Structure 1
């Protein structure tokens, strides 16, 4: 089975990330959830994003790269919000990537290259103020143009981190649908990469 590398949001590695990781472990998946904030957590997106800008996006990507360096492929890179942006960079560039799951984040402002063997799922609430529909469409189109399977899913409402059970944004029904879709995606990745 593929190993999931789960990257946290701008709030840091909160208890919600651990609960999400455990929910996939309960279905037999191996999950690592690196703390790329070195223990810092935040209660608002503004504070968390200020910290991410101070550290630098490239440094955060490098920390995920370092945390996954010794892992054997195949890998599924998954992330929430800021973590989704990092996960899409990993899926775009890491040859071990076998899939990318983007929860409440992701997108490119212009067409870009994508790895043809890396399927993609993107999940957003339809009225999430952080969703840039054009950027998401560009990402999905780039993946499809490369020959990869790419799916985008929209959920009711405006909650941002609706799949995080410790977030004020948590929406249990939407979170359950997202998890089921992600588990289907992971099963397809495992079937495709069996014996790799």
Structure 2
């Protein structure tokens, strides 16, 4: 069993993010899902991104760090898109991280102190034609991370949906999410 800290995307803590957390819990994992938006959710990605910009990415990182306080250090950090920012930062900077799952986004690993931590496995999942991932530098960051460590894997799914693993949003892709879920559960089962 892994203990997981899962961060939501820019549209907030949607039912789809909660469903994903519940799926991990049904597989036997303990999942913590903080609400970085204090209960707010947004109907579309543009509104969510505007809210994140209003709050400030520094504040989102601080809220992510605060969510980790009081939890064991040996966590697996999971982020959906915007949630990758605190998830990746904590995986790279908090001692004893067990792993990271970066869904729909990747930050250049140099942003959080340089090299990816040795022995911390990471999976990155996105669609191969997602403009937010492909055109905004995330794909290059993902490929650089994979090239920098044997502990990283990049999975690209056919399609252009950004938040395809959130079953409460229009971008949801059942087939891609089923494959992502299979890979995520295998990743978590291998965590020691």
**CA displacement 1:12-36 (0-9 Å, x = unmatched):** 1111111110000010000011000
**1:136 aligned residue:** 142
Q: Distance in 1 between matches of 2:89 and 2:58?
A: 10
When normalised by structure 1's length, the TM-score is: 0.90
Kept after mapping to 2: 8 A contact 1:3/1:73: no
Q: Name 2:183's counterpart in structure 1.
A: 181
Q: Which runs of 5+ in 2 are unaligned?
A: none
Worse overlay, 120-129 or 62-71: 62-71
Structure 1 equivalent of residue 37 of structure 2: 37
Residue matched to 1:83:
83
Residue-pair matches, total: 186
Q: Deviations over 1:69-96 (max 9, x none)?
A: 1111320000111111221111111113
Unaligned segments of structure 1, at least 5 residues? none
**Secondary structure of 2:50's match?**
helix
What CA distance in whole angstroms lies between the structure 1 residues aligned with 2:120 and 2:54? Answer: 31
State the Cα deviation string for residues 40-68 of structure 1 (Å, max 9, x = none). Answer: 11111111111111211121111121112
> Which residue in the other structure is 1:95 paired with?
95
Contact persistence 2:109–2:116 (CA under 8 A):
no
